[in-house]
Every structure is written in C-alpha cells, then in structure tokens.
Structure 1
Amino acid sequence: MNLKVLVLTIAAFTVGLVELIIGGVLPQIAADLGVSVSAAGQLITAYALVYAVSGPTLLAFTAKIERRKLYLMSLVVFILGSLLAFWSPNFGVLLLSRFVTAASGSLITTLSLTIAVKVVPENYRARVIGIVSMGISSAIVLGVPLGVLAADKLGWRILFLFIAIFAMLTMFVVYKLMAPIEPQQVMPLRQQLASLKNTRVAGAHLVTLLMLAGHYTLYAYFTPFLVNVMNMSASWISIVYFFFGLSAVAGGMIGGMMSDSLGAKKSILLVVGVFALSLFILPFTASMIPLFAVLVFIWGALSWALSPAQQSYLIDAAPETSEIQQSFNFSALQIGIAAGSAIGGVVISHTPSVTFNAWIGGGIVVLAFVVALYTLFHKSSSRRTDGHGQKSGSKLEPNFGGD
C-alpha cells in the first residue's frame, strides 16, 4: 500500500475512534465524573452535532487554504482536543474537548479522502477512497473493543492519550512526506444548501437521519444494555463489540451487492424495514445467546448496508451535485447520531429498563421506512437542481438504481 494512503487511513481511523469509543466506556466516564449515564451519553450527541455542522461549513470557510497546511492545522487542534479530554477534571471540560475534536475531525476525515485521491494514479482513486473509508469502519472492529478492555484495566482517560499520540505520529509523517496541495474551487455554502430544494434528495437525507437516530437510541447505550440486562463482564462486552464491528464492515459489502442486484429502491426499503424489525426483536433474545448473536449480526450489518444504496440513489436523483449530496448525507448521518443519543438518554432516564431504548429506536426506524416509501414512490413535481440551485427543465421521475 502507498505509505501516504496508509497514513491518511490511520488518521481516519483515529478520528473514527474518538467518536465511537465513547459508547463503550459510558459507565466508567459517568462514575468518574459524577454524572448519570444518560448525561454522559450526550458526549456522543455533542460530537455528532458539531461534526455535522462544521463539516460543510469549515470546508467552505477554508476553501482558499493550501490543503496540506490545513490538514496539519486540523491535526494540531485535534491533538489539543484529545489531550484536553485526557486531562479533563470535570464533565464540562470533557464536553468542550468533544467540540474541539469534532470540528477538527470533520476536516481531517474530508481532507484524508481528498488528499488520498491526489497522491495516487487516477485508476486507483476509487480504491483508495474505499481504503481510507475502511479506516473509520476499522475503529468499530478494532478500536472500540480494544478500548473497552484498555479502559477496564487502565481507565478511560488513557484512550484519549493514545489517540493524541496516534495523531501526533500522523502529523509528523504528513509533514515529512506530503507535498503542498493547492485547493480546488469549492461551491459556496449558500449554493450547496440550495441543492436541497430537490425534495427527493431531501427525503433521502431524512431517511438516513431517522435510521441513524433509531440505531443510536440503543447503540449509544449498548454497554448499559449488556451490563444491566445481560450481566456481561468487560471481556464479554469487548467480544460483542468486536462481533458487531465485523458485521458492520460486512454490511457495507452486503449493501453494495444488494444495491447492484436489487436496485437502490428495493435495497433501501429492505434494509430499513428489516433494521426496524431487528431492533424490536433484540431485547427478547437477551436470554438466548445464539439468537442474540444472530440479531446482533443483522443489526450491525444493516447499520452500514444502507450507505451504498443511498449513494446510488443520490447520484441518480441529483447527478449535478452528487459530491455535495454525499457530504450532506454524512451530515444527516451525524445529526441522526446526535438525535438518537439524545433520545436514548431521555429514554434511559425515564423508563425502568434500557430495553425500552431498542423499542423506541425501532419506532424511529419505522418512521424512516414511511419516509422512504413516500420519497421513492411519490410523484413529485420538484425538479432537478444544478450545482447553483437552479431548476432544470425536466421533472424528476422515480428512477433509482435501475429500478
């Protein structure tokens, strides 16, 4: 593998780790800082919200800055935010660190992708995008379960020190190996927002938002579920997260195959529908480990299986702004994570058991299914928009992924 691509992948892994690892150590953070588990869960909410807003906003504001310089600046801020989390004497400081790492992390992830395609030949560009994206999914497979074990032995703070060290090494290698990269012209934020006037595109983003909201209503509090409902130790919790991560990575491949064979429309409906069903059933399998493992695999796989179909859908629905829509869809994903984490915190505080999180989450995903049905089959009179938010002449008919 190209060494530069490897470094960028490690950076993506590190950023993914900062966001995802919190869910695995919520009880430790809550106990150490003297807050409730639901309050600690808002660390996920805060990160996701800041990430969603800062991604497109900071890219627009930093459009004229040389990319290598911007990457190094973002890494410096990210390192400071991680060290702040390591040192944080109270919940307020830890929350502040989440704001800092989310804003800088949003730039690091985007720049990792854009720089990666510039350091390889054109015929390898699609491949390196997949490799860098795997850095984030690898944080689920390896980072979260290892983090749970490390936090159990050394405390949760050490995780953020390790993350800061990884980021420092990345910064050093980028400084040594990367040549300056001039920025390309970026569409102004106002014109980017205008592209959302296409109601079919907006509907797709809403489906992503609602599905992730339902997912994180339980996933953000999955550790309390495993501890309180299933009485699992840290070692078993780590194994469950590792298994979930493997299924999530497999889900991306499964989703791509489904989209290619069934078409985007059928894939979206199938993934969202079965995902809702898995959340409703999961609590009933807590005393049946083999069946629980099957449900966790389905849940994990489908949590990532929607993305390929959505990408195909967005390219078909708005080809003129497809790259921007990918960015907006990731922002919708982050808003969904924030909403789900917040809702899950309210549910866990006002219900007798964390099992209600799964059922409330399933209800939210059912709403995503309804929105998907409307988006895919409603004969809208809205028209395609070009990159400047202007309407084109032809109406957009429901044609997704070859369906």
Structure 2
Amino acid sequence: MKIKVLVLTIAAFTVGLVELIIGGVLPQIAGDLGVPVSTAGQLITAYALVYAISGPVLIALTSKAERRKLYLWSLVVFVLGSLLAFWSPSFGVLLISRFVTAASGSLITTLSLTIAVRSVPEKFRARVLGVISMGMSSAIVLGLPLGVLAADRFGWRVLFLFIAVFALLTLLVVYKLMTPIEPQHVMPLRQQLTSLKNIRVAGAHVVTLLMMAGHYTLYAYFTPFLESIMHMGASWISIVYFFFGASAVAGGMIGGILSDTIGVKRSILIIVGVFSLPLFILPFTASLFPLFAVLIFIWGASSWALAPAQQSYLIETAPETSEIQQSFNFSALHAGIAAGSAIGGIVIHRTSSAAYNAWFGGVIVMLAFVAALYTLYHKPSLRHSGKVGHESVDL
C-alpha cells in the first residue's frame, strides 16, 4: 500500500514537472526554435488551458473505464508526448506535445488522487492527499531549479527525455503493482455544473483564476526578468527558483494556520492583498538584494497560502458539492495560469521589458482582491443559492 502511494506521488511529481519546467528555460527554447520569448511563453498558456478543460471533460468521458487500465494508457500517452517534446524540430511540434502532455497529465493527476484515496482506510485519506499534493509541490521546490541547471549544461531537450524516462518507469511499476480498480458512482457533469449558480461559489473560482493570472503574468517570464532586471546567471536563477519553491511549500502551512486562527474570509482577503505587494515592488530591487529575497519569500508563500483558505471556504459555503468544487477550483487555477501567461506574453512583446509584467500582474491581483471582497460578503437569495442534491448515477 505504501509503495502504491509512493508511485502515485512520483507520477504527480512528474506531471507537475512537465508543466512547470518550461518557465525556467524559456530563453533557451526561444533561441533554439527561433521564436520570441513572448511566443515561447504560450507553451505555458497552451498547457494550462488544455489541462483546465480536459480534466473534468476526460474524467466524464472515461467514467466507465477501469481505472488501472485508464491510468496506464494515460501514462503511455504522457510518455509519447514528452518524447515528442524532446524531438520537436519546430515550435509547432513542441506546442502539439504540450497539448498531449496536458490532456494526459490532467487524467494522471486526478486518477492519482482518487486511486490513492481508495487505497487506504478512511482515517488516512487526508494524509494521503497531502502526500500526493506534496509530490506536485516538490516539482516547484526541486524540479524547476535542478531543471534550470541541467538545461544550462545539457540543453533544454534533455529535460523532456528525463521526464519521459521517469514516466515510463512509473508506468512499469504501476503495471506490476496495481490491481484493477472499477469506477465509482459519481454525480452527473450537468448536475455538477448547476452548483456554479451560487454566486459565492462561482466567485471563489473567479478569485482563484484572477490571482493565478496575476501571478503567471510575471512568473511565466520570471527567468527573463531575473536575467534582464536582476542580471543573474543560471546558477543564481536556480537558487532563486529553489527559494521561491521552498517559500511556496511553507505558504501552504501558513495559509492553513491563518485560516484556523482568524477565519477563512479574513485570511483570503489578507493573502490576496499581500500577494500584490511584491509584484509592484520587485522591479525596483535590482540593487537591493536583501529586499529582493524578502519579497520573493512573501510572493512564494502567498502564492500557495490561498489554497487552504479557499478549500475551507468552499467546504463551508457548499458542503454538499465540496469535492466537485475542489475540481472546479483546480480548473480555475489552470485557466488563470493560461490567462496570465498569455497576458504576460503580450506585455513583454509590447514593452520589451519583464518589469512591466510584474506591474500588470499586480493590477490583476488587485482585481482578484475586489472580486474576493464582493464574493465573501455577498448574500445570495434562496432562489439563486445554487444548491444541488445528492443524486448519483453509475458512470
């Protein structure tokens, strides 16, 4: 059982790595494939957008498939997509590889969570979900900075070869250790969507979308920012990414403690408000490294601190559809990543300076703060409460 959870965690780490690694090597990809950095950044947009849409759609379309077989086929497609990225002779082929890995990766992540939960007694489920989530967060802490260093030495393509090999090994272990898993009864997709009629629920997803859009307006182009504004080389960039990732993981704990201490509503407003500050100040810290380090910690920590508060808020606001709302919030998160990286690409293309990405991102986060303020204190009428029943069907 422990080995099975470990394998699922490794798979989640691999998926997280293939999504995040692009941001650290954008200048190399742009130079190698002969496209502007702003165009290369759309690789992040494409992945996040496909991931956001394909997650719930593919789960619905494959709801009757035996889960082990579906998991194995998803890994096969993911390996092929990663190898396609390694081989890609042009930007168009690399973009196609991102579509493939995003769609298969969304299934792998969702199945990793659901299979892990069904593999342990109920009293250990929350702990297992935390372990799987830690696998995804580890891609930020370890994968991205190590990827920057490896790409600087061996080229960016080797990263996708490594990911393909890692996923292939995971596939073989799953094939050997995992037994067939039958699908469960779930709420129909149409009934799931009706839950979004509740303005307080839908508003929470909008806050997540806007906050991640503001975040990725800069984060998707953080390597060009560090190179042009902070004048850093690969080694220092790797250190900054590692520090950011460690701050992000700490932020998850900080957000949870804050929510338990002062409540979810205040926590959400404080986190979103604080999150915008580093974005406005970072471009002015080129000669103030201690301040830069403090801002990176605040930025990194607040980027993940929102998740526990949002999850608690959704459970309190819509307990009857709380599991569904976690899925929707994950899609909103990736839609925000797609929007932010697209906006960031336009900004850096028009201004030729990543400094403006930070300021545009800060403005978008302030919009998230306004949306949070409205959502948290909005009192919907009973007619539009968006409640749904517990009816389920065999999918």
Superposition TM-score, scaled by structure 1 size: 0.95
Q: d(CA) in 2 for partners of 1:299 and 1:82?
A: 30
Aligned-pair CA distance for 1:388: 6.7
Q: CA deviation at 1:84?
A: 0.4
How many residues end up aligned between the 2 structures? Answer: 389
Alignment of 1:381-396 (within 5 A): 381=381, 382-387=384-389
Q: Deviations over 1:296-325 (max 9, x none)?
A: 000000000000000011011111111010
Map 1:94-109 → 2, pairs under 5 A: 94-109=94-109
Q: Is 1:16 the equivalent of 2:20? A: no
Structure 1 residue 66 and structure 2 residue 95: aligned? no
Please tell me whether the aligned partners of residues 77 and 101 of structure 1 are also in contact (alpha carbons under 8 angstroms). yes
1:34 lines up with 2:34 in the alignment? yes
Aligned-partner Cα distance in 1 for 2:31–2:38 = 12
| Residue 229 (structure 2) pairs with residue 229 (structure 1) | yes
User: Corresponding residue for 1:173?
Assistant: 173
1:281 deviation in Å?
Answer: 1.2
Query: Structure 2 counterpart of 1:4, which letter?
Result: K
| Separation of aligned partners in 1, 2:389 and 2:196 | 11
Deviations 1:204-226 (A, max 9, x none): 00000000000000000000000
The residue that corresponds to 2:219 in the other structure is 219
> Where does residue 325 of structure 1 map in the other structure?
325
Give the equivalent residue in structure 1 for 2:160.
160
1:14-45 CA distance string (max 9 Å, x none): 00000000000000000000000000000000
Alignment partners' CA distance in 2, 1:307 and 1:61: 28
| Match of residue 300 from structure 1 | 300
Structure 2 counterpart of 1:129, one-letter code: L
Q: Are the counterparts in 2 of residues 77 and 104 from structure 1 also a CA contact under 8 Å?
A: yes
Structure 2 residue aligned with 1:204 = 204
1:185 to 2:185 alignment:
yes
Aligned pairs for 1:69-84 (under 5 A) are 69-84=69-84
Structure 1: 5+ residue runs without aligned partners? 390-403
CA distance in 2, matches of 1:162, 1:117: 28
Which residue of 2 is the match for residue 263 of structure 1?
A: 263
Deviation at 1:133, TM superposition (A): 0.5
- Give the secondary-structure state (helix, strand or coil) at the position aligned to 1:327: helix
SS in 2 for 1:385: coil
Deviation of 1:279 (Å): 1.0
C-alpha distance in 2 between matches for 1:387 and 1:165: 44
Superposed CA deviations along residues 92-144 of structure 1, whole A, max 9, x for unmatched, are 00000000000000000010011111222222111010000101100000000
Task: Report if aligned partners of 1:220, 1:344 keep a CA contact under 8 Å in 2.
Answer: yes
Tell me the distance in 1 between the aligned counterparts of 2:283 and 2:120. Answer: 47
Q: Cα offset for 1:378?
A: 2.0
Q: Which amino acid aligns with 1:383?
A: S
Alpha-carbon distance in structure 2 between the residues aligned to 1:107 and 1:6:
18
The answer to whether the 8 A contact 1:203-1:375 is kept is yes
Alignment-mate amino acid for residue 171 of structure 1: L
Secondary structure, counterpart of 2:118 in structure 1: coil
Q: Percent identity?
A: 79
| Deviation beyond 4 Å, 4+ runs, structure 1 | none
Tell me the distance in 2 between the aligned counterparts of 1:131 and 1:57.
Answer: 25
Query: What per-residue deviation string (whole Å, max 9, x for no partner) do you get for residues 43-85 of structure 1?
Result: 0000000000000000001000011111001000000000000
> Where does residue 375 of structure 1 map in the other structure?
375
- Corresponding letter in the other structure for 1:227: E
Q: Could you say which residue in structure 2 is the equivalent of 1:362?
A: 362
Aligned match of 1:338: 338
Distance 1:144 1:232 in 2: 16
Structural RMSD (CA): 1.1
Provide the rounded CA distance (Å) in 2 between the counterparts of 1:387 and 1:191: 8
Structure 2: give runs of 5+ residues left out of the alignment: none
Q: Distance in 1 between matches of 2:171 and 2:389?
A: 34
Letter in 2 for 1:376: L
Q: What residue identity is the alignment partner of 1:85? A: A
Q: What is the CA–CA distance in structure 2 between the aligned matches of 1:181 and 1:288, rounded to whole Å?
A: 55
| Greater Cα shift, 78-87 or 182-191 | 182-191
Answer whether contact 1:317 1:384 (CA < 8 A) is retained: no
- CA distance 1:193–1:388, shift in 2 (3 Å): farther
Task: Provide the rounded CA distance (Å) in 2 between the counterparts of 1:294 and 1:311.
Answer: 27
Q: 1:195 touches 1:388 (CA, 8 Å); kept in 2?
A: no
The one-letter code matched in structure 2 to 1:386 is: V
